[in-house]
Structure 1
């Protein structure tokens, strides 16, 4: 059954004009995921909207795929819906603000005159669960006059600050980091060069409760880091973290008042490590795995806990939890469900339950929810 496509009548407004077309439709068959196994997977793709409904996002062969709960807490879902995006590299950076708006950022490559390729960072936004997305908006690259250099930039990272403004970061042609920031009135500053060198490919960005941002970028032997002293000021280079983090494996969680804890996978062993300012990296056990670690901070039996999920060494989702900022307690990993592709994701549903989601090899969305028992007991997996 075809769905109506959506186009924004004015960029920057929340109103939409719906027309018949091909930019959005329901798929009759779910495509195999991932589309390009050479690209690093991403987590953070399962988000709860203001109405309590969860939405899952994934890059597809023709654009963005989306699944949405029919009501808060599930268990039924709609989708996958396809939002066509020609030329989109199948990787999404995803960020959400306090109003529930979801920002999707990607890299787009399209043919240009003379057989050349135009590379640009693009962004779209979804205002409400199940509603249309805006047309993709081009943010360009740090090299607006040089297509050859623009083609060398890496995949984007994205974060929303305390004022709801989006910030985007990429590896530049020299192996450092460049970023472009939105300001509260919706306009965009120019691309800024953060310097640095030797970056492996994919930066990571996160913000504290009050919107202070941090940017991390792994190299072969250190993780470069940039921070803000106060909101609205330029980033400054902080001390490097001595660690060998696998490319695309860095994720972060707010674990204290104005504190972020960063997690990554050791490049050689695959073991998950945790780090925050003032401590050495701590290994969190397990037999290793692949991709970034999904993170969620929530009470378990009344105790503040950090929950982690990963694609384990056996290819199955694995989940663990420990008291927040007590890494010495260790994390006992439990494998669950069938083998998955990419990286799993975590969220809290409209009924307050922990939800673990993953994509099967056939591209279908699989979900398990916390049971009404003590501890972190998860129920049977279901297909969305």
Structure 2
């Protein structure tokens, strides 16, 4: 069957990617997941004029009642599964029209898309802005025989296949069926055709808890988790066909356990978009289960990227060489700018061995060479048969890297669900040339493995702590002691060695609720400057901390960073007693500030007018000028000047 014009454009692979606008793809379970958990990032992409396509795997028909639960209308509402699914589609159309600056009555075109499995999906796009669209797989919670099914059941192989739900205004008129293998292959086909620069998913490994052995509770919706697992499996398949993309995984319902990282303005914009989704289009009501009730749901009050995805780890070795590591298409990569990064320089990535990386990478340089660390998942099996492990590789691009060596998991011989509670690895090199790797553990404390000078790893150690988030920051003080920082809902936890190679003690830095992980720099006097975003504003706070006794100054705000989200990148200036900070601002662009001296007076501020997809890191020219590094849409590491 020949492709329609819209379908051919959707799956076109003829034009070179570099000639296209930035392409953003979201893969979600439900028609409001993107609005709840990926905004304002998604809205910025839509408003920028970039190509935006959101793929929804399920119909999300729930109980078929399009009314707010516990209301009189809900009690009297009929069960209409197809009708409620239609309302969710109308809501999504209204929301995307609103985000693009159009009226919610804007016209949409509906087409079918033939998939690799032979099944059909629906492609819906704005008539006046065809670069903004949706793809609907329409998987139903009930089969045609009435049996209960779900995306989670399909991933876990509790069912062999899942039926779709028909909708009145869809061009698809017959029920489609998808197996697990079909869905992975079909998503991979779409990704290869679209060649997205960025793919957003939900968290494939949300935190889990257990009241008793076998009674496991996920902190997120099981279909959110399953949609992310399908997405990651498809990206891995598409990678084998040349896909190179930045992946960002977002926290879902887990947001309600953490302070909000959005300021009032961004939160109001998000609530307005969700309200439009609830109201739908003229004469086509939206999802009334959302609507005006959105403000009561705290899981929508953040936009939080998890497990450090999209970040860059950058270091300079003792011989002056500069290295950066990260991941593209869930595969590890390294950028090597050499000894002389310069403004406007772009460096293409080199692949490292291995794949299916579920976090970005940490890197240290020791007498044994470069050592790289990541999280790896080994299979697409159901959760009880999957593994999640910290892995390490050692070497250089010139001489090659060793194959990935597993460092295991603090819980590999314990209850299966506990291994999925670990966070992204952070690494440090102690003054005694020993390598350290740290992860947040299932108990929300800190676990560590240490390699001796010959590179032999010891056992996993539990360093204590509680309520720790997944992403960590490490720093080694001038006396060779390793320090680890991470955020909790109440403040910042700091683990410190009292002597190089010694044990760790932990203390809570009472700075108020942070909106994300801290970053740390070293002053000329040997103190630490600890920076973090404050909850509900994003403004950056700071304390000065002594690495010797752990004492710290009262927290203060620096008058910078409000409205932004994401991690802060910090570096000391080798030319003067100054500290440079960079982050993503309220408009999604890179913003930097230079703070001078002990009083941290702001002496230079600037904005780099480029949308930031992933993370930021600092490098330096040969004469010590700070350069801001970020990954471009095509995967190059780019260095931006800060002297203008």
Q: 1:265/1:78 Cα in 2 relative to 1: closer, same or farther (>3 Å)?
A: closer
Matched with 2:410 is: 142
Displacement of 1:53 after TM fit? 4.0
**1:348-377 deviation digits (Å, cap 9, x = unpaired):** 1334332211123443332223xxxxxx51
1:70, 1:77 within 8 Å by CA — same for their partners in 2?
Answer: no
The 5-angstrom pairing of residues 288-303 of structure 1 reads 288-300=563-575, 303=576
Matched with 2:212 is: none
**1:86-126 deviation digits (Å, cap 9, x = unpaired):** 332142223345x6943321111113988601111111234
* 3-state secondary structure, aligned to 1:149: helix
Matched with 1:357 is: 629
The 5-angstrom pairing of residues 153-164 of structure 1 reads 153-164=422-433
Displacement of 1:199 after TM fit? 1.6
Displacement of 1:324 after TM fit? 4.0
Matched with 1:317 is: 590
Bigger proportion of residues as helix: 2
The 5-angstrom pairing of residues 89-128 of structure 1 reads 89-97=358-366, 101-111=369-379, 116-127=385-396
1:306, 1:321 within 8 Å by CA — same for their partners in 2?
Answer: yes
Residue of 232, 245, 256 corresponding to 1:32: 245
The separation in 1 between residues aligned to 2:569 and 2:621, in whole angstroms, is: 15
Larger Cα Rg: Structure 1 or Structure 2?
Answer: 2
Gaps of at least 5 residues in structure 1 are 1-26, 370-375, 379-384
Matched with 2:147 is: none
Displacement of 1:306 after TM fit? 0.8
1:70, 1:76 within 8 Å by CA — same for their partners in 2?
Answer: no
The separation in 2 between residues aligned to 1:124 and 1:346, in whole angstroms, is: 24
The separation in 1 between residues aligned to 2:370 and 2:580, in whole angstroms, is: 22
* 3-state secondary structure, aligned to 1:232: coil
The separation in 1 between residues aligned to 2:608 and 2:534, in whole angstroms, is: 23
TM-score for the superposition, normalised by structure 2: 0.49
Q: 1:61/1:111 Cα in 2 relative to 1: closer, same or farther (>3 Å)?
A: same
**1:247-282 deviation digits (Å, cap 9, x = unpaired):** 3x3111111444222211113211122223220122
Matched with 2:118 is: none
* 3-state secondary structure, aligned to 1:184: coil
TM-score for the superposition, normalised by structure 1: 0.79
Bigger proportion of residues as strand: 1
* Residues 1:272 and 2:547 aligned together: no
The separation in 2 between residues aligned to 1:324 and 1:131, in whole angstroms, is: 42
Q: 1:79/1:212 Cα in 2 relative to 1: closer, same or farther (>3 Å)?
A: same
* 3-state secondary structure, aligned to 1:190: coil
* 3-state secondary structure, aligned to 2:407: strand
The 5-angstrom pairing of residues 19-98 of structure 1 reads 31-36=244-249, 38-39=305-306, 40-41=308-309, 45-69=313-337, 72-73=340-341, 79-97=348-366
2:377, 2:389 within 8 Å by CA — same for their partners in 1?
Answer: yes
**1:265-322 deviation digits (Å, cap 9, x = unpaired):** 113211122223220122122234222211221245xx32111111111111111111
Q: 1:70/1:28 Cα in 2 relative to 1: closer, same or farther (>3 Å)?
A: farther
Matched with 1:260 is: 528
Matched with 1:372 is: none
**1:154-177 deviation digits (Å, cap 9, x = unpaired):** 221211111222111111111111
Q: How many pairs does the alignment contain?
A: 341
**1:222-254 deviation digits (Å, cap 9, x = unpaired):** 22222121112110123433321233x311111
Residue of 465, 485, 505 corresponding to 1:236: 505
Matched with 2:608 is: 336
Q: 1:171/1:78 Cα in 2 relative to 1: closer, same or farther (>3 Å)?
A: closer
* Residues 1:306 and 2:579 aligned together: yes
RMSD: 2.9
Q: 1:76/1:53 Cα in 2 relative to 1: closer, same or farther (>3 Å)?
A: farther
Matched with 1:285 is: 559
Displacement of 1:217 after TM fit? 2.4
The 5-angstrom pairing of residues 167-182 of structure 1 reads 167-182=436-451
The separation in 1 between residues aligned to 2:629 and 2:381, in whole angstroms, is: 43
